[in-house]
Amino acid sequence: MATRHTHQEHLGHVVFITAAAAIGGFLFGYDSSVINGAVTGIQRHFRVGAVEIGFVVAIALLGSALGAWVGGGLADRWGRTRSMKVAAVLFTVSSIGQMLPFAIWDLALWRVMAGFAIGMASVLGPAYIAEVAPPAYRGRLGSFQQLAIVLGIAVSQLVNYLIAQLAGGKVNNHLWGLQAWQWMLGACAVPALLYLLFASAIPESPRYLIMSGRSRKAREVLVEVEGEDVDLDTRIAEIQHVLRTERVPGLKDLRGRAFGLLPIVWIGIILSAFQQFVGINVIFYYSSVLWQSVGINQSNSLLISFSSSIINIIGTFIAISLVDRIGRKPLLLIGSAGMTIALGTAAWAFSAATGAGGALPSPQGPIALVAANVFVLFFALSWGVVVWVLLGEMFPNRIRAAALGVAAAAQWLANWAITVSFPALSEWNLPLTYAMYALFALLSLLFVAKWIKETKGRKLEDMG
């Protein structure tokens, strides 16, 4: 009985550590999707067109790509927790800057800084969680990153809706001396300060501690995260052997004969790209504008965006319950099949639009809304969670941080390409745009079937 109680206490402590690290994922979701509610307000306040607003929305993703690219190296140089503190400070400063811009280019620069912090968080969370989680629980604990992301998305949409309601339903109305959209962008400073607090309270990764020569401290952390019954000498020797025979990872370690990179790195890059090419972030960056374009008012479009975020959370909980039971690869295959059907259905529904600003007729209007939310559900229960779990697991120890950084950077570049192109593509042909996303979903199914290997239950030291 005492042993069971001790085990539960230990597992509870590991869950706390993991959840604290995943606050970076919450900020990732919050800061990247908060722009959804502010798009109309920014466009009207600065009197800019579709090209400029598309640039402002998408430019944060270039900052994210850079942050993800260098985040792995910073994590190996400074440590996982110290890098988290840097990201938290960047989140805080950029949020205040976005809240008080004096020009459209000024806002764009603050969004680049916010993007850099988001990119760092996209690397630091999965790497840290994978390194502190016991193998038996790694899939579920690794899923905390995506759960935090979708919670961040949902909270941002809820906060946007509430701020808009307080301002009378319009994002350009004034509230406490500022326009509503400014409060939307500034609200991220609150969770950013919490991230800084928790990053100061959690232990450093045992693998980083051993890498930096602090084996005694690593032993303490291993007891903290894996329990007192773990064979410390064996675990330390296991990690030390890997680190002795491998150098600290750098970008040059990723080089291979397959078009300049190792095959496993290309698999991570393509996996990351497919996660974005299905168009998921069109829902989270532009849904309020999209639904307004088919006849829904501004306030209700924000409410619909929030409802999609709730469906995203439900799908994420489904994934967390299944990822360690049925495995990573089956979930990806299920998700790809479901997304293909949902996106194809949405493409058909949007083909009935009567023109720019015209509402969809019945039954295409309700079908488009249902299809979009079914797409979100299948993404959330599969690709949303599993890609982050896999990126934290699939690479060998010697290249994990650097390879994760490159794969995450590729993800942000793919995200940028989808985000910056959607306004123009949707104006040109919205049904064909969604048909393209459906095609990418189908291609992702074929890619997973051929190239992705199952990682469920394997130790990180066995990856290769």
Closest by CA position to 401, among listed 14, 63, 17, 70: 70
In a 3-state reduction of DSSP, which class is residue 304? helix
Phi, psi of 175 (to 5 degrees): -145, 115
φ, ψ at 204 (rounded to 5°) = -70, 155
Per 3-state DSSP, the chain is made up of helix, strand and coil in percentages (nearest 5) of 80, 0, 20
Tokens of 424: 């123009």
Tokens of 120: 């760092």
User: What pLDDT, on the 0 to 100 scale, is given for residue 2?
Assistant: 45
pTM greater than 0.85 (yes/no): no
404 contacts 130 by C-beta, under 8 angstroms: no
| 279, two tokens | 């168009």
pLDDT, residue 96, reads: 96
Tokens of 102: 């004096």
Q: What pLDDT is stored for residue 434 in this prediction?
A: 93
Query: What are the distances in angstroms from CA 414 to CA 269, 284, 311, 432, 446?
Result: 10, 15, 24, 19, 19
83-108 burial, b at 16+ Cβ within 10 Å, e below that, comes to bbbbbbebbbbbbebbbebeebeebb
CA distances from 24 to 145, 150, 310, 334 (A): 8, 12, 20, 28
Kindly give the confidence (pLDDT) of every residue in the chain, 464 residues in length, as a single tens digit, with 9 standing for 90 and above.
445 545 556 677 788 888 888 888 899 889 888 988 888 889 889 988 777 888 888 898 888 888 887 888 888 888 889 999 999 999 999 999 999 999 999 999 999 999 999 889 888 888 888 888 777 777 778 778 778 888 898 999 999 999 999 988 888 898 889 999 999 999 999 999 999 999 998 888 888 888 888 888 888 888 877 777 777 777 888 777 777 775 555 667 777 766 678 888 899 999 999 999 999 988 888 887 777 766 677 777 888 888 888 998 899 889 888 988 888 999 999 999 999 999 999 999 888 876 555 567 778 888 888 999 999 999 999 998 899 788 878 888 778 878 887 887 888 789 889 988 888 888 788 899 999 999 999 999 999 999 888 877 666 655 55
Angstrom distance (rounded) from CA 282 to CA 58: 11
Distances (CA, A) of 331 to 41, 145, 312, 337: 39, 17, 15, 10
List, in order, residues 6 or more apart from 124 with CB less than 8 Å away.
21, 24, 71, 75, 80, 83, 84, 87
- Determine the Cα–Cα distance for residues 47 and 51; give it in Å rounded to an integer: 12
Q: Which two tokens stand for residue 390?
A: 């896999």
Preceding peptide of 191 cis, ω within 30°: no
313 class by beta-carbon count within 10 Å (0-12 exposed, 13-18 middle, 19+ buried): middle
Closest to 146 in 3D by CA, of 323, 306, 331, 316: 316
Residue 98's pLDDT is: 95
pLDDT at 121: 87
Neighbouring CB atoms inside 10 A of 17's CB total 22
Contact 96, 142 (CB under 8 A): no
169: left (phi over 0), alpha (psi -120 to 50) or beta: left
Per-residue b or e along 46-67, where b marks 16 or more CB atoms closer than 10 Å to that residue's CB: beeeeebbbbbbbbbbbbbbbb
Quote the pLDDT of residue 463: 58
Dihedral, 215, 219, 224, 227 alpha carbons, nearest 10: 150
CA gap 406, 256 in Å, rounded:
14
Place of tokens 């190996």: 76
pLDDT confidence of residue 393: 83
Question: Can you tell me the distance from the alpha carbon of 261 to that of 254, in angstroms, rounded to the nearest whole number?
Answer: 6
Dihedral sign from CA coordinates of 116, 27, 23, 318: negative
- The tokens of 289 are what? 């504008």
